Amino acid sequence: MLNQLRYYITGQAAGFPRYIWEQLIFGLFGWIPTVLGVGIRAVMYRLVIKMKGTAAIEYGVRLAYGSHITLGKRVYLDHGVYLHALPAGIAIGENTMVMHHSMLHVFNFRGLPHAGITIGKNCFIGEFNVFRGQGGITLGDDVYTGPQVQFVAVNHVFSNPNTPIREQGITAKGIVVEDDVWLGAGVTVVDGVTIGRGSVIGAGAVVTGDLPPYSIAVGVPAKRIKDRREMKPGDTPSDIFFGELEQLRRNI
């Protein structure tokens, strides 16, 4: 029982005193709704996480291993977001938004050398995204994801049919998504993949291999069907709209 309790606590914070301190801060201030709560957390959460400027954190955001979380200025964490940063950490760059019920998880219970999640600046992480960062996940700047996108930087070994899969270990090579990539709704990116800058991945695709820069890729498994640099003027829609968020970012 004591070993199980120790395992739980060390999976939530960097030691028992740190666990008590972080849970106290989260318990006192994590539930407060409205803009008042956002403002209070922008001040009080500095006691348990690293903030480079002011971050906006909605109520109901769950944070574990706060000492290993770094948020750039103007980062926004929506309601229901879950960040678990054991032990290599999670870093989110300035002006990046993580939308509701997305999960960024680095539960490195096997001592993996590259575990961690880094997201660049000016990114938008859509609703219900999942990041499994055991092998390391790096997103560059200006990366946009639709809802229910998954980055799974871990894989189970299953080569021996006579041994339960859970007892055969894992591999974890890591995932890299370079700058200015758009991943449509429901995309899955598996371990060991690099997606080159400027690429567009169609909804529902499963990316199982590297994609060169400026790829347009679709399907299961994802196949490159075009180079964005070969697109013609006629390929650009005529009815283009720009959101208020992008206007605000340009004026910062």
Q: How many CB atoms lie within 10 A of CB 139?
A: 26
**Alpha-carbon dihedral sign for residues 42, 48, 53, 56:** negative
Residues 158, 161: Cα–Cα separation, whole Å? 7
- Round to whole Å and give the CA distance between 144 and 96: 10
Strands (E) located in 1-156: 50-52, 56-57, 62-64, 69-72, 76-77, 82-84, 90-92, 97-98, 103-105, 117-119, 124-125, 130-132, 137-139, 144-145, 150-152, 155-156
In the chain, which residue ranges form alpha helices assigned H by DSSP? 2-10, 16-29, 34-44, 244-251
Question: How far, CA to CA in Å, does 102 sit from each of 62, 131, 179?
Answer: 11, 8, 21
DSSP 239: S
Q: Which one from 68, 79, 101, 156 is the annotated catalytic residue?
A: 156
Residue 155's region, left for phi above 0, alpha for psi from -120 to 50, else beta, is beta
Q: Which two tokens stand for residue 29?
A: 């201030």
Catalytic residue status for 105: no
Phi first, then psi, for residue 234 (nearest 5°) are: -70, -15
- Residue whose tokens read 């395992």: 7
Query: CA torsion, points 151, 13, 79, 186, in degrees to nearest 10?
Result: 10
Instruction: Show which residues are catalytic.
Output: 156
